[in-house]
Amino acid sequence: MHPQQLIGLGKLTYSSIKDTSPYSFAIFGVNYAHRGINRRLLRYGGEDIRPDVFGIEVTNYCSRVCEGCYVPEEIRNDMEVIDEHLLLSSISQAKKFGIRNFGFLGGEPMNKHTIPLTLKAVSKNPLLSFVYCTNGDYIAKNDVSYFQKHNNVGFLLSLDGFEDMNDSIRGKNAYSNVMDASKQLSSLRKIISASVTVRDNNIDEVFSDDFINHLIDNGFKYVVWIKYKHNGSGINNDELSDEEFIKRLGDLKKSTMTKPIFQQTNIFGDFFTFKRRSAHHTIYMGIEGDIHIDREEILSHRGNLNKNTLEEILKSIRKEYSTKYNF
């Protein structure tokens, strides 16, 4: 860790304690630290790598048609939601493997059908961390003050640049809805993060000082830089090479060390370690119980929790999973 990063971390800690619930800050902080400590214990003990984040796709439905969306168009209009028993049992199994960090994904996981269901899981597991990965549309248009009592809930809002850039990728009013959502969530003292998909056509904008400061000014304490992976659905192939992505990340790290925002990436870990093995080791589950290890490959299944236990599935993919994270 560079000494200047301690300055940024100190500023972040102060602003997080000031602006968010201390209970939320404690729950998310402890669970994030548990992820790193448990991973090191497993590594030094010679055990196989294990997932430490569980992404649960609670619905495939989404009203938006974002450029390059990984969810196939033919299932994006299906309003089916995940079965309650499957949702709760999958979380219970994941807990046994030491997983304490969960994401509710979609489609769009914030709607009137999925919220009551996911809040049952949140309420039953008050010491686990749950993050809604959302476009912010529902939050911008509805009162979500009932989330204030759930200290183990955070929000990851999709934002791919300033208004013109973001809306060219995510559709009309996507930017304004994220801004409105961030205001409401900040007033509720919730932890909010930005999920920024980085492409060739927006990297200069989102990696700029102006954009980083814009995130900070709007209450974002964390940002996840996600390297865009072209899946054939976009008009143009805007995918960056790994080499270009990590080079630009390195430049960004140098220029933002003292800023009060925690940064991490989907493939190279957080800005303190900046190594592939420090990235979140995530597995994903679809609404039918299908397990996959790459979110972009939603139809590439490695097992099903309605047929096999999570332990059985993880054993069958351990070599592939370890290779993905260079173990």
CATH number of the domain encompassing residue 44: 3.20.20.70
Instruction: Kindly state the average pLDDT of the residues 256-268.
Output: 87
Tell me whether residue 46 is exposed, middle or buried, using C-beta atoms within 10 angstroms of its C-beta: 0 to 12, 13 to 18, 19 or more.
exposed
The total domain count for the chain is 1
Distance between CA atoms of residues 207 and 212, nearest Å: 7
| Domain around 110 | 3-324
Distance between CA atoms of residues 38 and 35, nearest Å: 5
Across 24-38, 176-190, 239-253, 302-316, the highest mean pLDDT is recorded for: 176-190
**CA within 13 Å, CB half, 89:** 16
pLDDT band at 327 (very low <50, low <70, confident <90, very high): very low
Q: Mean pLDDT for the chain?
A: 87
Instruction: Kindly state the average pLDDT of the residues 263-292.
Output: 78
Residues linked to residue 131 through DSSP beta bridges, in sequence order: 103, 154
Residues 78/62, Cβ–Cβ less than 8 Å = no
Query: What does residue 312 show for φ and ψ, rounded to 5 degrees?
Result: -65, -40
- 257 three-state secondary structure: coil
Tens-place pLDDT, residues 57-107: 999 999 898 988 888 888 888 889 999 999 999 999 999 888 999 999 989
Tens-place pLDDT, residues 155-172: 999 999 999 999 999 999
pLDDT at 176 over 80: yes
pTM, to two decimals? 0.91
Residue 225's pLDDT is 94
